[in-house]
């Protein structure tokens, strides 16, 4: 056992987050943490990381247990003048200190120190300890982690303060993985990772011995390949399912189906009991009439009393069954469907022998044609020129060679992962209304995209990354476009919202050109693929 919770509760002034939840984490557990935005995943992570205490309940950790926590807020990376490599090597602070001691002893021996015998003994012991602790591998391990997470050798000497937000997240992830921990708590580790980096991370997590991991991610393929258990947060309660994400979906659907079967069975019982109660009451009433009309000497009155008693008993059973039905009725979210208001397409976009880049080409010889109904995915590792290609197609950057032709009458909707299209002070609802739709429709589609009612008037800059993405996608959905250009639309979207978006995009009448690292999203949507950097 690494950590155990018993009846944990946590509440904030405006809502109850966790209520009497219990959880035990064992060595080598791989747990996927699922739940809607605001369900309490981050709060649960912070309790596991010992950042905050619960309001009630007990939290126990194994003696000396070490916890590594990757936050979305980049708190794990210092914004300093340390180089990228030195920041990563902080995971091996003790080894580097021992390495310095060994270098110092070697230097003293080289100068012919008077205490040579003692120094040789101390040096031998230090070298043994250094080797046993992995001292001859830690630099190679660090270089491998940085490279596999998309931080190439040219980035290593750069100061951390000069790195992009995505690079800082990858550096923080590398540092957490390189440190020796008993429990890894990883909040959205797949954000900013390309497919190759996600697959490498899957392998690392699967192969770690005696280490437990609790992971929240919006990449269902990643969760399928890593998780052996799913913890689902919903309405303050927590339920555990064995297996990966796909197994969780199957079990949840089967449980919901069984709950509906139980509910429908109770409905039949209610109808039967209602009929019985009504019949008994009618029979009792008729017997009483017979008694009064036939100068009954007690028999009819006795039968009437028995029937009335049965009627009352059936009525009580009826009331109890109805009460049980009220608590047993399965909760089912409303079916969510979003429809684009776009136009039928034709030949919308063509690229012939295009090279993209700045001073030097990043990607060359790109040729494709996009017609109405096509969904063209642009894939490749980070740095292969995917976003540069989109910006070149949109006319923000000139192609270095080749030709791009866009239909003059095509209306283009662009989803920019950097959110440059909206000023930070613009309210979310106003950003959506800029698409030209009316307010009722805007609010309806924002609701279907799971944007909360109290969020619509917040300034765009104050929204979470997920809320900003949903607002921009809503604006794009409501615009009457022929061609959609999407740069990482699934980043920060929960899986349920991804499904809503996938359904909407599948029914879009025009053409779609999109960049995505989410393997499920690409496989479900793309009709063709352009691979860069291969």
Question: What percent of the chain has a predicted confidence (pLDDT) above 70?
Answer: 83
The pLDDT of residue 249: 92
Residue 378: which of 200, 482, 528, 220 has the closest Cα?
528
CA 162 to centroid of chain Cα atoms: 27
Residue 134: both structure tokens together: 């992995």
Q: How many residues does the chain have?
A: 534
Give the span between the Cα atoms of 453 and 443, in whole angstroms. Answer: 8
Give the span between the Cα atoms of 493 and 501, in whole angstroms. Answer: 9
Q: Where are the beta strands (DSSP E) in 38-82?
A: 56-61, 67-70
- Residue with the larger pLDDT of the pair 300 and 10: 10
Beta-carbon contacts of 304 under 8 Å, excluding residues fewer than 6 positions away, are 284, 287, 288, 291
Q: Is 197 exposed, middle or buried (0-12, 13-18, 19+ CB in 10 A)?
A: buried
The pLDDT of residue 397: 92
Task: Calculate helix-pair angle for 138-148, 195-207, nearest 10 degrees.
Answer: 140
Q: Are 31 and 227 in contact (CB under 8 A)?
A: yes
The pLDDT of residue 110: 82
The number of beta carbons lying within 10 Å of the beta carbon of residue 262 is 15
Give the span between the Cα atoms of 267 and 254, in whole angstroms. Answer: 20
Q: C-alpha distances in angstroms, 291 versus 181, 281, 286, 305, 308?
A: 85, 15, 9, 11, 14
The number of beta carbons lying within 10 Å of the beta carbon of residue 95 is 19
To the nearest whole number, what is the mean pLDDT of the chain? 84
Give the span between the Cα atoms of 18 and 41, in whole angstroms. Answer: 10
Residue 470: which of 486, 490, 441 has the closest Cα?
490
Mean pLDDT of the 230-245 span: 92
Beta-carbon contacts of 293 under 8 Å, excluding residues fewer than 6 positions away, are none
Mean pLDDT is lowest, of 25-29, 159-163, 302-306, 499-503, for 302-306
| Rg, C-alpha atoms of the chain | 32
Mean pLDDT of the 92-118 span: 84
Residue 295 has pLDDT above 60, yes or no: no
Residue 417 has pLDDT above 80, yes or no: no
- Residue with the larger pLDDT of the pair 258 and 196: 196
* 112-133: burial string, b at 16+ Cβ within 10 Å, e else: eeeeeeebeeebeebbeebeee
CATH superfamily of 347-531: P-loop containing nucleotide triphosphate hydrolases (3.40.50.300)
Residue 513 has pLDDT above 80, yes or no: yes
Q: C-alpha distances in angstroms, 257 versus 107, 231, 324, 453?
A: 74, 20, 18, 30
The pLDDT of residue 264: 76
Q: At 281, which helix (H) or strand (E)?
A: helix 245-293
Give the span between the Cα atoms of 169 and 188, in whole angstroms. Answer: 10
Mean pLDDT of the 383-392 span: 92
Q: Are 280 and 308 in contact (CB under 8 A)?
A: yes
Model confidence band, residue 324 (pLDDT cutoffs 50, 70, 90): low
**Phi and psi of 482, rounded to 5°?**
-100, -30
The pLDDT of residue 196: 93
Give the span between the Cα atoms of 56 and 8, in whole angstroms. Answer: 6
The pLDDT of residue 256: 80
Handedness of CA 247, 522, 216, 236 (dihedral sign): negative
Residue 172: which of 97, 84, 93 has the closest Cα?
84
The 3 state secondary structure assigned to 165-221 is HHHHHHHHHHHHHHCCCCEEEEECCCCCCCHHHHHHHHHHHHHCCCCEEEEECCCHH
The pTM (predicted TM-score) of the whole model is 0.80
Residue 333 has pLDDT above 90, yes or no: no
Q: Where are the domains of the chain?
A: 84-175, 262-328, 347-531
Model confidence band, residue 286 (pLDDT cutoffs 50, 70, 90): low
Give the span between the Cα atoms of 251 and 231, in whole angstroms. Answer: 12
The number of beta carbons lying within 10 Å of the beta carbon of residue 219 is 27
Give the span between the Cα atoms of 500 and 482, in whole angstroms. Answer: 20
Q: Are 47 and 54 in contact (CB under 8 A)?
A: yes
Mean pLDDT of the 42-49 span: 90
The number of beta carbons lying within 10 Å of the beta carbon of residue 204 is 17
**420-432 pLDDT tens trace:** 778 888 999 998 9
**Phi and psi of 357, rounded to 5°?**
160, -165
């Amino acid at each position: 056992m690494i950590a155990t919770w018993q009846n944990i509760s946590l509440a904030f002034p405006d809502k109850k987050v966790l209520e009497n939840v219990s959880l035990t984490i064992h060595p080598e557990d791989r747990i996927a943490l699922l739940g809607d935005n605001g369900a309490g995943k981050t709060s649960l992570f912070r309790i596991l990381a010992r950042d905050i205490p619960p309001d009630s309940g007990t939290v126990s950790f194994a003696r000396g247990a070490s916890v590594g926590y990757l936050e979305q807020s980049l708190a794990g990376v210092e914004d300093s003048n340390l180089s990228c490599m030195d920041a990563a090597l902080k995971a091996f602070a003790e080894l580097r200190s021992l390495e310095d001691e060994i270098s110092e002893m070697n230097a003293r021996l080289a100068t012919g120190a008077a205490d040579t015998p003692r120094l040789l003994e101390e040096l031998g012991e230090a070298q043994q300890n250094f080797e046993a602790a992995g001292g001859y591998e830690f630099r190679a391990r660090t270089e491998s982690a940085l490279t596999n997470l998309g931080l190439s050798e040219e980035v290593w000497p750069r100061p951390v303060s000069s790195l992009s937000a995505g690079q800082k997240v990858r550096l923080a992830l590398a540092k957490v993985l390189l440190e020796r921990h008993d429990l890894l708590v990883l909040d959205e580790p797949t954000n900013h990772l390309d497919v190759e980096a996600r697959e490498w991370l899957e392998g690392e997590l699967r192969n770690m011995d005696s280490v437990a991991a609790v992971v929240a991610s919006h990449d269902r393929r990643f969760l399928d390949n890593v998780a052996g258990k799913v913890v689902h947060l919903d309405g303050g309660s927590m339920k555990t399912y064995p297996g990966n994400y796909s197994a969780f979906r199957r079990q949840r659907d089967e449980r919901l189906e069984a709950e509906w079967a139980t509910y429908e069975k109770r409905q039949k019982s209610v109808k039967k009991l209602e009929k019985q109660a009504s019949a008994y009451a009618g029979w009792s009433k008729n017997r009483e009439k017979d008694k009064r009309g036939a100068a009954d000497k007690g028999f009819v009155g006795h039968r009437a009393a028995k029937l009335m008693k049965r009627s009352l008993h059936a009525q009580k059973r009826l009331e109890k069954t109805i009460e049980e039905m009220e608590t047993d009725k399965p909760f089912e979210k409303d079916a969510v469907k979003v429809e684009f208001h776009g136009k039928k397409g034709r030949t919308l976009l063509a690229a012939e022998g295009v090279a993209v880049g700045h001073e030097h080409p990043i990607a060359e010889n790109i040729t494709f044609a996009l017609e109405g109904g096509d969904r063209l995915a642009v894939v490749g590792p980070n740095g292969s020129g995917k976003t540069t290609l989109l910006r070149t197609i949109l006319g923000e950057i000139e192609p270095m060679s080749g030709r791009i032709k866009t239909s003059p009458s095509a209306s283009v909707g662009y989803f920019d992962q950097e959110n440059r299209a909206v000023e930070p002070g613009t309210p979310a609802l106003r950003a959506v209304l800029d698409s030209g739709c009316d307010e009722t429709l805007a609010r309806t589609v924002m609701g279907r995209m799971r944007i909360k009612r109290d969020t619509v008037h917040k300034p765009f800059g104050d929204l979470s990354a997920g809320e900003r993405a949903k607002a921009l996608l809503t604006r794009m959905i409501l615009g009457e476009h022929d061609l959609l250009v999407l740069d990482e639309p699934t980043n920060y979207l929960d899986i349920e919202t991804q499904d809503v978006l996938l359904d909407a995009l599948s029914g879009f009448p025009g053409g779609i050109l999109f960049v995505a690292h989410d393997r499920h999203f690409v496989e479900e949507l793309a009709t063709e693929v352009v691979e860069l950097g291969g």
